[in-house]
Amino acid sequence: MHACSRPILVWKLQTSGEGQHRYLHLRQQHLISFSDIPPVVLYNLTQLLFIISLFTDLLLQPIISVSSMNGVSQSHQQGFQVFRGFSFTISCSIQPQYPGGSFHLTFTSSSSTAEHNYTQPAVNDSTHFPFPVAEPAHQGTYTCVYQVYVFSQNFSFESGRLPVIVSDPPEFPLKVVILPFTLLLLSATLYFYCKTTRGQTSNRQEDTEPGVGAAEEEVDVQGVQATPSGI
């Protein structure tokens, strides 16, 4: 005699969409009875439902962001802008849930259809992907995927897409820095030049004055010597 022979509905779990628009769907398959389910299958089904409830309630979508030494400006139409020749960093993070895991950064260049993948372990539920020098080849779309192994299963969670634009740095700030520095250097050069010229002129005058005094003294001496002979 079976403990329970009441018919139940069996549902199939499916997912659709991607990124921020990922959904879970439960679809009705057919009617069966508890008595038709082997104990092992029933145990695995219970465990699976428990895992699903944990992850749908606790795990959130990973967060992806970009930062740079010289700052990042956002263009609402095109994406986040970094300057060519400067370093920038793509950061991935997720709210603390389970230890371990890893982040996978997927990059699709805007100039080609090839995908580039980078992997780093999750440290304190986050990681950073540095790029020392921004080049036009780094322009494209970035996505973080968080993978973790729990309950003997691998789970992956994908972030939203982050568009990054690489552009030339503006010239105006460079002129603002170079122009005052050039004027300061020119002023200092003129100051030391004038100071040196005045010093040389003063030395020449001092060298000339003793000669004139000696000539006057010589004339006076000759006048004194000529007076007695005239008497």
Asked if the structure places residue 22 within a domain, the reply is yes
Asked if the structure places residue 221 within a domain, the reply is no
Tell me how many domains the chain contains.
2
Asked if the structure places residue 213 within a domain, the reply is no
Segment 148-157, tens digit of pLDDT: 887 777 778 8
Domain end (from 146, 170, 194): 170
Domain end (from 155, 170, 185): 170
- Asked whether residue 26 falls in the same domain as residue 68, the answer is no
Asked if the structure places residue 132 within a domain, the reply is yes
- Asked whether residue 97 falls in the same domain as residue 145, the answer is yes
Segment 4-56, tens digit of pLDDT: 444 444 445 455 555 544 444 444 444 445 455 555 555 555 556 655 555 55
Asked if the structure places residue 175 within a domain, the reply is no
Cβ atoms of 166 and 135 within 8 Å: the answer is yes
The shares of helix, strand and coil residues in the chain, as percent rounded to the nearest 5, are 40, 35, 25
Tell me which residues of the chain have a pLDDT lower than 70. Answer: 1-59, 74-76, 171-177, 199-231
Question: Using alpha carbons only, what angle is made at residue 87 by residues 84 and 88, rounded to the nearest 5 degrees?
Answer: 100
pTM above 0.85, yes or no: no
- Asked whether residue 27 falls in the same domain as residue 106, the answer is no
b/e per residue 31-57 (b: at least 16 CB within 10 A) = eeeeeeeeeeeeeeeeeeeeeeeebee
- Asked whether residue 29 falls in the same domain as residue 98, the answer is no
Asked if the structure places residue 42 within a domain, the reply is yes
- Asked whether residue 43 falls in the same domain as residue 89, the answer is no
Domain end (from 170, 192, 218): 170
Cα–Cα nearest to 145, from 131, 132, 127: 127
Q: What are phi and psi of 37, to 5 degrees?
A: -95, 120
32 lies in which domain range? 7-58
- CATH number of the domain where residue 161 is located: 2.60.40.10
